[in-house]
Structure 1
Amino acid sequence: MNTFKWLLKREYWEHRGGLFWAPVITSAIFVFFTIVALTLAAFGINQADEVEIGLNLSEGIAQLADPANRADVTAGLELIFYMLGNPIMGVMAFVGFFYCLGSLYDERKDRSILFWKSLPISDRETVGSKVFTAALIVPAIGVVGATVTALLIMVVLSLFILMHGANPIYLWDVGAISRAIFNMVASLPIYALWALPTIGWLMLCSAWFRRVPFIWAVLIPILSGVLVWMVGLMELFGKGADWFWGQVVGRVLSGTLPGMDIVYRLAHDPVQIQGDGPREIAQYISVGANYTVFAIPQMWIGIALGALMIYAAIRLRGNSDEG
């Protein structure tokens, strides 16, 4: 267990740019441009409009406080919290994608694999630490970054509202904020398992190809999709080429994107979501609804194929040389 912990630390030290600085810089940029946008808006309001803007804000805040609107307002604030953190989650999705691609290729490229193979550490432990990092550590950092960014932007918005004579207290709905954070944290296991086909495929390419694994990792699925479409292969099974693009190409290339399981869940059973109001949408992406993804076959097939590709990557690493 102590060895595995140090392997995880090694991954963090070697990829600190993506695991630490990428979310920090993205958050800083997003908060900065929010401040700039609100500052420009404030300068654009002349003295005559100041009172009107303040009255409008006060009226809007009063509507947030109306008990009749409270359920929709709480759900809406929860969705806004997700949206404010989405840029960080998106950046971490790309970090995870390229981390997997370089995870086994880079150690052959710089020949550090010779050093690590000289230590009493198995290929299973080494690859396992990389899978754990990609599946759980990267999205967990994304959740922390998204939470901090959303809270900082809410502070900036609250100061803007205060500057115009309104009370922002009802923006700080503890129930909505805590539920959004809880949902993101509780959904990490779903993310990890849903992403396994992508993680396995990218690590397999990283261990297999000696040059530019990115090209092969992307080109092979896309060319396969084009070939299947051209020859009409899926028609033999009573399905169209769009099935192959979604269930094969999409699964191996988009797994690190947060929320992709929701897209497939909706496609599997589109009647699950009733209405398009904030309460219905928030309910559909709640923890209870998210875990229903285990009822669709794509989840289990993906887990099995991902595990097989990770096993293949372990064997390839064991048989690889310094080249």
Structure 2
Amino acid sequence: MKAFTALVHRELIEHRGAFLLGPLILVGILFGATILAFTVGRVDARFSGQIFTVAPLRVFEVGFLGFGLGWSLYLISALFFYCADGFAADKRNNAMLFWKSMPVSDFKMLLSKLAAALTILPGVVYGVALLSGVLLFGVAFITMLINGTGSMTMLGTIAGIYGQVALSLLVVLAAGLLWYLPFMALVGAMATVIGRWAIPVSLLVPAIVSTLEWVTLGGLHPFATNTWRFIEYRGALPETPYLEHWFTSDQAFSSVAFASDLIGHMDWTQIGIGIVFGIAVLYLASEYRRRVNDN
């Protein structure tokens, strides 16, 4: 167990640039730009205070959810490149013989990379996202104090909103990782076999399979097949009617209601199939890694 934990930690050390340093730099730039915008007069503090006076709670809720969406998109792209690159890193840096000499099987080695992609790596990005929310909300609240529209009561309400949205983002993160697990495992398994070429190949494979179905079984075009419809279905998280209803209402955001709605609309059968599929392709990749001589 200690060896497996060390392997997961190794993934964070090797890829902290994309999952820790990069996000922290982005937060620093965004925070600095926000401060600079207020100090050099690019943003009128009086105008900004008027915005928060009109509907301050809704502005905080929508703003933090927007930040969460942006960080989710960043995480998806970072995990894709991690799986397409990290699973082939041992072969690329000629460290394969060293890792093969460890008392850890090839399957456990690949499983540690997938575990890192599901736990510690997205956890770090989630922590940075929470930090960005604290910094930007702090700037907004100080602006309200300058304009005389802020109070300690308002600060307590904002903290409650922050907790509600932060919890909902955590639920979305967990649900998304479970939903996209088979994609991450497949890209990682391909990277184990063909290295960095997994990046373009993994983007082409769905189109090739859909085209083969169109050629053999017919259809309007290659993107009107059962294969492509399934890929579109598995490529998007389930819709949550709660968000649409909340956005057009004056109710406060509820993380419990949102989480219940999201969990209730998840296709858990597909998630179970995806977990089995992910473990299976990783096992096949580990067998390839163990048997091929050029490793």
Residue 144 of structure 1: aligned partner: 127
Residue pair 2:12, 2:121 contacting (<8 A) in 1 also:
no
Structure 1 residue 296: deviation in Å? 5.3
Q: Secondary structure at the match of 1:287?
A: helix
Residue pair 2:130, 2:166 contacting (<8 A) in 1 also:
yes
Q: CA RMSD in A?
A: 3.4
Distance 1:271 1:35 in 2: 35
Residue pair 2:4, 2:108 contacting (<8 A) in 1 also:
yes
Structure 1 residue 250: deviation in Å? 6.8
Query: 1:91-240 counterparts in 2 under 5 A?
Result: 91-167=74-150, 169=152, 170=154, 172-210=157-195, 212-229=197-214, 231=215, 233=217
Distance 1:273 1:84 in 2: 18
Q: Which residue identity does 1:288 align to in structure 2?
A: S
Identify unmatched segments of 5+ residues in structure 2: none
- TM-score for the superposition, normalised by structure 1: 0.76
Distance 2:126 2:272 in 1: 25
Distance 2:88 2:67 in 1: 35
Structure 1 residue 221: deviation in Å? 1.7
Q: Secondary structure at the match of 1:286?
A: helix
Percent of residue pairs identical: 23
Structure 1 residue 59: deviation in Å? 8.2
Distance 1:282 1:228 in 2: 44
Distance 1:281 1:166 in 2: 20
Residue 67 of structure 1: aligned partner: none
Q: Residue 110 and residue 225 in structure 1: after superposition, are their counterparts in 2 closer, same or farther (change >3 A)?
A: same
Structure 1 residue 279: deviation in Å? 6.2
Residue 69 of structure 1: aligned partner: none
Residue 57 of structure 1: aligned partner: 49
Q: Residue 195 and residue 217 in structure 1: after superposition, are their counterparts in 2 closer, same or farther (change >3 A)?
A: same
Structure 1 residue 155: deviation in Å? 0.9
Q: Which residue identity does 1:98 align to in structure 2?
A: F
Moved more, 148-157 or 81-90: 81-90
Identify unmatched segments of 5+ residues in structure 1: 65-72, 255-259
Q: Residue 147 and residue 246 in structure 1: after superposition, are their counterparts in 2 closer, same or farther (change >3 A)?
A: farther
Distance 1:63 1:9 in 2: 44
Distance 2:17 2:60 in 1: 32
Distance 1:278 1:201 in 2: 41
Structure 1 residue 124: deviation in Å? 2.2
Structure 1 residue 320: deviation in Å? 3.2
Distance 2:51 2:202 in 1: 54
Distance 1:287 1:18 in 2: 28
Residue 19 of structure 1: aligned partner: 19
Q: Residue 17 and residue 232 in structure 1: after superposition, are their counterparts in 2 closer, same or farther (change >3 A)?
A: same
Distance 1:201 1:289 in 2: 29
Q: Secondary structure at the match of 2:104?
A: coil
Offset from partner CA, 1:69-100 (integer Å, 9 cap, x none): xxxx46x6333212124333322222211111
Distance 2:51 2:65 in 1: 25
Q: Residue 152 and residue 9 in structure 1: after superposition, are their counterparts in 2 closer, same or farther (change >3 A)?
A: same
Q: Residue 194 and residue 60 in structure 1: after superposition, are their counterparts in 2 closer, same or farther (change >3 A)?
A: closer
